[in-house]
């Protein structure tokens, strides 16, 4: 969009006071546009918050998704007199970078006024896991180490080796990605469950932890329980895709944790332990090949390409944002094609840059 056609857009943030109410402005742009769908959007959105929401994050960085959703939830409480109390529990983060882990620990430690999840018990601190690859059995990570391309491998050899690793993980996913996978946690100083539902409700998932039968229909009727909504947010490594990196694409070493990330989503959906995921990467990320196609059996996936300038901030940094939903547990009622999804998203979120 040219700077001239932007003049027709609603004004964006222009002062520091505007910044304070930016989440409110975002909500208003979605829920106060006065179209025929407004009421339906409110009902769908608020119904999700009436359940407990369990959030997890991989490739967490400084855990920006936590900050964004916290601000949005707080704005929901301030703005609307909805009969709801968001129960968002931040179950875990995970990052390979020790600086990121330290920042997360410091930012969401005992001195942060929002350290505790909204509505959660104070004792439930978020797990911080060390490495995405630690959640698979050692024999599998040993196999990956043996199969990873040599440093002097050509681009073609590296692509082929990464493809072999993905296919091997996919073929062996039933035992490589068990429901009760654990991973070293720096918060708890022990190995913790990777799956948020098992971490938070082990008594409900004994059949997945120690075997046996799942709860009978009679038991479920006698003790009704609304399973929380489970969402994963991840900003997968972009060095292989962004022009700022080496543009090695599928020859980039980040392909290996990406394979684990994708198959983790697949298994979590098959086991009905995760309902949705949000993924962020470079605008040049090949989302069709890297995630939409591999997950087409388990997930519906949409994508928008978005950057700060489209939301009214004078920074050009376009990224791909993908949302996937578990076809077993959720349904998409929005536009069908990528082009229509992009236009629909822009119709709510595009603002003029006033800074």
Binding residues (CB under 5 A) for Zn ion: these are: 127, 185, 187-188, 192
22 vs 96 by CB, closer to Zn ion:
96
**In the complex, what is the shortest distance from the CB of residue 196 to Zn ion, in angstroms, rounded to a whole number?**
11
* Chain-centre distance for alpha carbon 182: 19
134 vs 319 by CB, closer to Zn ion:
134
**In the complex, what is the shortest distance from the CB of residue 62 to Zn ion, in angstroms, rounded to a whole number?**
19
**In the complex, what is the shortest distance from the CB of residue 129 to Zn ion, in angstroms, rounded to a whole number?**
8
127 vs 262 by CB, closer to Zn ion:
127
| CA 9 – CA 243 distance, rounded (Å) | 30
- The DSSP string of 103-156 is HHHHHTSTT-TT-SPTTS-TT-PPEEES-GGGGS-HHHHHHHHHHSPPTT--HH
φ, ψ of residue 169 in degrees (nearest 5):
-60, -40
127 vs 353 by CB, closer to Zn ion:
127
**In the complex, what is the shortest distance from the CB of residue 185 to Zn ion, in angstroms, rounded to a whole number?**
3
Residue 32: partners with Cβ closer than 8 Å, 6 or more residues away: 38
φ, ψ of residue 166 in degrees (nearest 5):
-60, -45
**Could you identify the residue written with the tokens 């050692």?**
138
| CA 330 – CA 47 distance, rounded (Å) | 13
**In the complex, what is the shortest distance from the CB of residue 315 to Zn ion, in angstroms, rounded to a whole number?**
35
Please, are residues 312 and 354 in contact by the beta-carbon 8 Å criterion?
Answer: yes
* Closest among 204, 209, 146 to 181, alpha carbons compared: 209
**In the complex, what is the shortest distance from the CB of residue 232 to Zn ion, in angstroms, rounded to a whole number?**
16
Please, are residues 244 and 294 in contact by the beta-carbon 8 Å criterion?
Answer: no
* Closest among 115, 41, 48 to 87, alpha carbons compared: 48
187 vs 236 by CB, closer to Zn ion:
187
126 vs 309 by CB, closer to Zn ion:
126
Region of 184 please: left (phi>0), alpha (psi -120 to 50) or beta.
beta
128 vs 269 by CB, closer to Zn ion:
128
**In the complex, what is the shortest distance from the CB of residue 181 to Zn ion, in angstroms, rounded to a whole number?**
13
69 vs 192 by CB, closer to Zn ion:
192
**In the complex, what is the shortest distance from the CB of residue 243 to Zn ion, in angstroms, rounded to a whole number?**
37
* Cβ burial, residue 129 (10 Å; 0-12/13-18/19+): buried
């Amino acid at each position: 969009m040219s700077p001239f056609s932007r003049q027709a857009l609603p004004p964006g943030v222009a002062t520091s006071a505007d910044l304070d109410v930016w989440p409110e402005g975002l909500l208003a742009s979605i829920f106060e546009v006065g179209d025929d769908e407004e009421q339906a959007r409110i009902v769908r959105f608020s119904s999700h918050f009436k359940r407990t929401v369990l959030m997890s994050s991989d490739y967490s960085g400084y855990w920006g998704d936590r900050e964004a959703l916290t601000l949005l939830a707080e704005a929901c409480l301030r703005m609307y007199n909805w009969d709801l109390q968001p129960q968002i529990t931040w179950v875990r983060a995970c990052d390979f970078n020790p600086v990121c882990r330290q920042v997360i620990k410091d930012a969401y430690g005992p001195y942060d006024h929002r350290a505790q999840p909204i509505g959660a018990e104070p004792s439930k601190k978020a797990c911080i896991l060390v490495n995405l690859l630690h959640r698979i059995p050692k024999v599998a990570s040993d196999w990956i180490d043996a199969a990873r391309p040599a440093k002097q491998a050509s681009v073609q050899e590296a692509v082929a080796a990464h493809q072999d690793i993905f296919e091997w993980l996919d073929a062996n996913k039933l035992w490589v990605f068990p429901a009760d996978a654990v991973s070293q946690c720096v918060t708890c100083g022990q190995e913790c469950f990777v799956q948020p539902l098992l971490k938070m409700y082990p008594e409900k998932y004994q059949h997945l932890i120690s075997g046996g039968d799942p709860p009978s229909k009679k038991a479920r009727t006698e003790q009704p329980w609304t399973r929380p909504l489970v969402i994963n947010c991840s900003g997968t490594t972009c060095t292989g895709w962004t022009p700022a990196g080496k543009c090695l694409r599928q020859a980039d070493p980040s392909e290996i944790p990406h394979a684990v990330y994708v198959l983790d989503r697949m298994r979590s959906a098959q086991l009905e332990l995760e309902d949705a995921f949000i993924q962020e990467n470079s605008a040049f990320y090949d989302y069709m090949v890297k995630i939409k196609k591999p997950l087409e059996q388990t997930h519906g996936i949409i994508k928008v390409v978005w950057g700060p300038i489209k939301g009214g901030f004078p920074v050009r940094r376009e990224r791909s944002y993908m949302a996937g939903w578990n076809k077993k547990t959720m349904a998409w009622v929005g536009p069908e094609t990528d082009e229509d999804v992009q236009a629909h998203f822009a119709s709510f979120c595009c603002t003029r840059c006033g800074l």
